[in-house]
Structure 1
Amino acid sequence: MGFGHARFLASQLRAVSLPRSFSTSPVHASGHNKWSKIKTKKGAADAKKSAVFGKAYRDIMVAVRGGGSADPGLNSALAAVLKNAKSVGVPKDNIEKALAKASSTGKDRGDQQVTYEAMAYGSVGVIVECLTDNLNRTAHNIRGILGSHGARLAPVGFLFTRRGYVNVSLDKGDDRDARTERLIEAALESGAEDFEEAETPDDPTTTELEFTCPTENLAKLTAAVTRSGLSRDLLSSELVYAPVDKPESADEDLETKVAELVGALEDNEDTLRVWTTLDS
């Protein structure tokens, strides 16, 4: 590999600090990433199971490293992730393997968190977050996946903004409107800048509230909405890459292609998260 080519690759790959974040939303109910929904519709039963297990593995990795402990009694983020993993049927053996890998000393393993930026199909920005102990292997695998799906490494970070994202569920009831209003007030006072209410078709007894905030307010916002006594469960609290501009409607063919690309990237063993400019 020539010096110029090496410098190009280095410009596409940057190490970043591990965010204190986690996500416990099951694959079929991710609030900010619709690709898993498309994959679920298209995939067979074994593909669905693989997607669920893979997501649980990634969430455990992020929760342990972000929370600093593999003990759910000391790491509330991990406790929420494990609760969700068990609820969607992730085997105990899979959970224990993920915990063992996540709790191994990163320094001894040489782990680094790296971010790749790419352009897919000429118009869709993609950001891939990975955790790896071998940069060459991961770079090779990511480039191969991108190339086989009509994508290439490219600087697209300007198409995204880093935001805090918190998602909680609330029980429905006669006083839901009042509880929702008080929860929103608590969130806004703790740094939330926007919110959205969403129905939960899989559970007619609950509703969800999604909040976004500046990255520096994520911990404060998460504490406010979980300690208020107004929410039922904390479903997600993480740093996300959100599109700067509201996603334009894409035709079904493009959405299918991007969903397949995201699925292939998520199947890579080193991948933690994938974001695109089509995410809503």
Structure 2
Amino acid sequence: MAGHSKWKNIQHRKGRQDAIKGKIFAKLGREIYVAARRGDKDPANNNQLRLAIAKAKAQNMPNENIDRAIKKAAGEGEASNFESITYEGYGPDGIAVIVEALTDNRNRTAADVRFAFTKRGGNLGESGCVSWMFNRFGVVEIEKEAVSKEEDEMELLLLELDPEDMEITDVSYVLYVQPDRLEEVQQALVEQQFPVASADIMMVPENRVSIEGETIKKVLDLIDTLEDHDDVQAVFTNFDADEQEIEKYS
């Protein structure tokens, strides 16, 4: 699974650059709302809701926004009926793309996503056309600069958590665990006083496809367009490229 951190940086590039926090909070609030609607409104009894709240807090979302989303799910205030939809397709040069969305208008979102693919040299495919190339994992990242232990010692400690896989980069340790173990592993790291930089459930490609030149620009443009859509919660791809080339076209 080498290359996670590079891919993660690409995936969150727009989020870091987006000065309009309200847009980010709206997507996080929608995720909290859906998690609360599907299960117990008390985070203590709803794992999905706890994870959604943790993600929101990592983005410094105000507690009042979080509470408002939960109350809305409980029937207070104007309610919306959101549903989860996953779109699959191919980007430039056949790059596999998975789009996860939460929408209250399936036809609108499908049309917008299809248009984004078509306009940028890709095409929206049938369900299952690319998902077989990915595995769903809980992905936990710890920044090296946040821990004082030597790499060898840290590696042994992390292996004790029994991850499915682990990646060590120049700047971070990345653990891949089964989704239902994400919270457990995250809590274990916190208890050992290892600051968790990020923890989320992601679609991780089994293999990556290298691209270069103008294709990188086209792929990044597609990702940016999809992530900018209000209904899109996450975009996953299987492309790989040189870091300097990515920065050149970012």
Q: TM-score scaled to structure 2, two decimals? A: 0.72
Closer, same or farther: CA 103–266 of 1 in aligned 2, 3 Å: farther
Q: 1: CA distance between counterparts of 2:22 and 2:214?
A: 27
1:104 deviation in Å?
2.4
Name 1:222's counterpart in structure 2: 186
1:73 deviation in Å?
9.6
Name 2:115's counterpart in structure 1: 144
Name 1:49's counterpart in structure 2: 19
Q: In angstroms, what is the RMSD of aligned CA positions?
A: 3.7
Q: 2: CA distance between counterparts of 1:72 and 1:235?
A: 21
Report % sequence identity: 23
Name 2:130's counterpart in structure 1: 156
Q: Which runs of 5+ in 2 are unaligned?
A: 242-250
Deviations 1:222-261 (A, max 9, x none): 333233x1412x222222111122x132113111111110
Closer, same or farther: CA 235–71 of 1 in aligned 2, 3 Å: farther
- Which piece of structure 1 moves more, 65-74 or 159-168? 65-74
Name 1:16's counterpart in structure 2: none
| Number of aligned positions between the proteins | 226
Name 2:248's counterpart in structure 1: none
Report if the CA contact (8 A) 2:137-2:178 is conserved.
yes
Q: TM-score scaled to structure 1, two decimals? A: 0.65
Report if the CA contact (8 A) 2:141-2:197 is conserved.
yes
Report if the CA contact (8 A) 2:93-2:215 is conserved.
no
Name 1:193's counterpart in structure 2: 164
Q: 2: CA distance between counterparts of 1:122 and 1:166?
A: 30
Report SS of the residue matched to 1:49.
coil
Report SS of the residue matched to 2:210.
coil
Corresponding letter in the other structure for 1:238? D
Q: 1: CA distance between counterparts of 2:28 and 2:133?
A: 25
Name 1:242's counterpart in structure 2: 204
Q: Aligned to 1:166, which of 131, 140, 165?
A: 140
| Residues 9-20 of structure 1 mapped to structure 2, 5 A cutoff | none
Name 2:31's counterpart in structure 1: 62
